[in-house]
């Protein structure tokens, strides 16, 4: 018995769309699945939570215990990936004061929200236990190191950032990564 949904079970989830060779753990929680689209060759591991407007490209891996709250949109480009326990928020409560802070009180007492889409470009990767807040773009090939916080900013293409708040520590090997992508895709197309 597989720990991933079968093809017929994937059909019954009600996803907006999904491609070929999609592996979603039976232990994943999906909220508003009709707003979630998934490309080809995607794997989403145990205990992840996906909610709202989420678009996942092809050849993407989302490791265990990740949370994606896409109220205002989350896009993951091809070959992007999340290490375990990454949290991505496209909406976050403004907790600076003047409000009560939880859903057990009427909405008029709750805080305003900071909102904006989150975009991960192709080959963007996020390290374990990092947090990505609203209105953030991780450009093509950029990497965010483990235990980092990225908030309402743009991480430039092919840079490696880490820390809280993040800062650039080096460049990624763009040409090598793109060469590996080309080799992989040539092989992948032959086998599918």
Q: Indicate whether 1 belongs to any domain.
A: no
Q: Indicate whether 121 belongs to any domain.
A: yes
73: domain range? 7-191
Q: Indicate whether 2 belongs to any domain.
A: no
Count CA atoms closer than 13 A to 107's CA, side-chain side.
1
Instruction: Report the mean per-residue pLDDT for the chain.
Output: 96
Q: Indicate whether 78 belongs to any domain.
A: yes
pLDDT of res. 1 = 62
Euclidean distance between CA atoms 79 and 175, whole angstroms: 15
Tell me the C-alpha to C-alpha distance, in Å, between residue 159 and each of 79, 83, 163, 169, 173: 16, 17, 13, 8, 9
Q: Indicate whether 149 belongs to any domain.
A: yes
Q: Indicate whether 28 belongs to any domain.
A: yes
| CA dihedral sign, ordered 164, 150, 48, 100 | positive
pLDDT of res. 97 = 82
The count of structural domains within the chain is 1
The whole-model pTM stands at 0.95
Tell me: pLDDT of 152 over 70: yes
- Please report, for the domain that includes residue 124, its CATH number: 2.160.10.10
Tell me: pLDDT of 162 over 80: yes
pLDDT of res. 83 = 98
> Each residue of 34-77: pLDDT tens digit?
999 999 999 999 999 999 999 999 999 999 999 999 999 999 99
> Each residue of 76-118: pLDDT tens digit?
999 999 999 999 999 999 888 889 888 899 989 999 999 999 9
Total Cβ atoms within 10 A of residue 112:
11
* Phi (first) and psi of residue 66, to 5 degrees: -85, 150
């Amino acid at each position: 018995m597989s720990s991933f949904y079968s093809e017929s079970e994937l059909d019954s989830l009600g996803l907006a769309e999904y491609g070929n060779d999609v592996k979603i753990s039976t232990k994943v929680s999906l909220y508003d699945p009709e707003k979630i689209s998934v490309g080809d060759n995607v794997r989403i591991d145990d205990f992840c939570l996906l909610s709202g407007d989420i678009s996942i490209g092809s050849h993407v891996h989302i490791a265990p215990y990740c949370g994606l709250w896409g109220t205002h949109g989350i896009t993951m480009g091809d070959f992007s990936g999340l290490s375990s326990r990454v949290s991505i928020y496209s909406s976050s409560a403004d907790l600076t004061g003047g409000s009560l802070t939880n859903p057990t009180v009427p909405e008029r007492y709750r805080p305003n929200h900071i909102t904006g889409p989150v975009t991960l470009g192709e080959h963007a990767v996020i390290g374990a236990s990092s947090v990505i807040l609203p209105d953030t773009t991780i450009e093509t090939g950029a990497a965010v190191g483990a235990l980092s916080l990225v908030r309402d900013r743009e991480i430039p293409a092919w840079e490696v950032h880490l820390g809280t708040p993040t800062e650039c520590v080096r460049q990624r090997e763009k040409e090598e990564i793109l060469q590996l992508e080309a080799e992989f895709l040539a092989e992948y197309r032959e086998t599918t």
